Copies of this chain bind each other. A is one copy, B any other.
């Protein structure tokens, strides 16, 4: 009888693992169990679906169950894995539409249970009009409300990447947006000086930003009417909670699969957990940071896909390694973009790494080429060895993906001096003759 790989969770990490496993070894049966109604959807696209840039929630689906079946992969949606018995090699699955629980044996397992939005236990949090945004159905509910035209004012709780993307989405519907952030800056993963550039831009565009304000609760009869934060009462017809996510690890922990220091599932470079034959991938898993070597929890779509391929390959007898992450991330809000990779200044400081900073503002086109805009580049580097530690960029949204060049340099372990020597592409519409990245590197070298 063919061996069976069971994949728990069918979004980015799980479906990547399943597809790669089947391609690696077609002799194996591969089965995906997904709790929700969709598999393989682009969760990162949800703010744009809410915005209306993407018409239908179904457009977010990358591959439909039919397409997996054509590849020889079985897919069960509405099917929640309730328990994993690693000794017997069995999962217990509740098929919600049939109301039945069944057990399935496995020879290898990939745990890709993803993450869930953190919902702080605040008074009034069950009022109508308060949303998290993680699934297509949640996105649809938010969009329906916006389409109704009844939402005039919205509060986004949490000014992270998704919170900032939601500013664009809500503003597009003519909604007055207030971002409430507990910390003293929006975009907590970035340094404050860079985040402030984004905050000033958003304020110019009419977004209210309240940093250093913790939300104390929500007021309203059935529906939310006000958000109480820092003693203020902020009118709100809608609230988006985007204060971060937590890995879904209950199932794994109960099965005896070890969690790491970050609270997410621990795995080696082969994405194998402490239990032989049990792998993990995606937003439930921690990863090694390429710069520090430490385990980190930075759940991102690209990482989930990469982990999934490695887990899927190894689960069916192949051989692949996942080298880790730099936390490279990018976002667009209106015409602005921001990007980061590696360590921030505060990351370096917190770890006691001796560091220096080179920060420059330049144009993103040759000075004489029309339409040039300001771009700010920050490089953080080890002040003793010169090794690049990380970078952050804020500028016109089409200009910030140049962060990738720094991500590659970080992976390679380059010093700022080496980075200043890079032969980057130049023509007047694309950058000044010295790319802003090199201007920053030259400043670091001086």
**Residues of A participating in the B interface, judged by any CB pair closer than 8 Å:** 12, 42, 44-45, 48-49, 53-54, 59-60, 62, 161, 165, 290, 300-303, 305-306, 322-323, 325-332, 337, 339, 341, 366-370, 397-398, 400-405, 407-409, 411-412, 414, 418-419, 421-431, 433-435, 437
Contacts and interface: CB of A to CB of B under 8 A. Distances in A.
Contacts of A434: 302, 305
Contacts of A403: 425
Contacts of A419: 408
A426 B45 contact: no
7 contacts: A62-B433, A301-B433, A341-B423, A401-B430, A401-B431, A407-B423, A407-B425
A276 to B, nearest CB: 24
A42 B368 contact: yes
B368 A59 contact: yes
Contacts of A367: 42, 62
A311 B19 CA distance: 54
The winner among A326, A366, A368, A397 for most chain B CB atoms within 10 A is A368
A338 to B, nearest CB: 10
B368 A301 contact: no
Contacts of A407: 405, 422-425
Contact of A302 (B302, B404, B423, B429): B423
Given A328-B425, A331-B427, A404 B45 contact: no
Nearest to A321: B421
Contacts of A325: 423
Tell me what chain A mostly uses at the interface: helix, strand, loop, or mixed: mixed
B44 A366 contact: yes
Contact of A404 (B53, B305, B414, B422): B422
A225 to B, nearest CB: 33
The winner among A303, A332, A400, A405 for most chain B CB atoms within 10 A is A405
Contacts of A332: 427, 429-430
Contact of A409 (B303, B341, B408, B437): B408
Given A404-B404, A405-B408, A433-B305, A42 B425 contact: no
Given A366-B44, A433-B302, A411 B418 contact: yes
A167 to B, nearest CB: 14
Given A368-B42, A402-B401, A300 B426 contact: yes
B328 A424 contact: yes
A164 to B, nearest CB: 11
A326 B426 CA distance: 13
A401 B425 contact: yes
Contacts of A290: 423
The winner among A323, A329, A398 for most chain B CB atoms within 10 A is A398
Contacts of A411: 412, 418, 421-423
A438 to B, nearest CB: 8
A54 B368 contact: yes
Given A48-B369, A433-B42, A423 B303 contact: yes
A323 B60 CA distance: 46
Contacts of A49: 368
A83 to B, nearest CB: 31
Contact of A45 (B306, B330, B369): B369
Nearest to A425: B330
A402 B406 CA distance: 11
Given A401-B402, A412-B412, A433-B305, A425 B366 contact: no
Contacts of A369: 45, 48, 53-54
A327 B62 CA distance: 37
Contact of A326 (B339, B423, B433): B423
A428 B62 CA distance: 12
Contacts of A430: 330, 332, 337, 401
A279 B116 CA distance: 62
A186 B12 CA distance: 41
Nearest to A49: B368
A394 B117 CA distance: 39
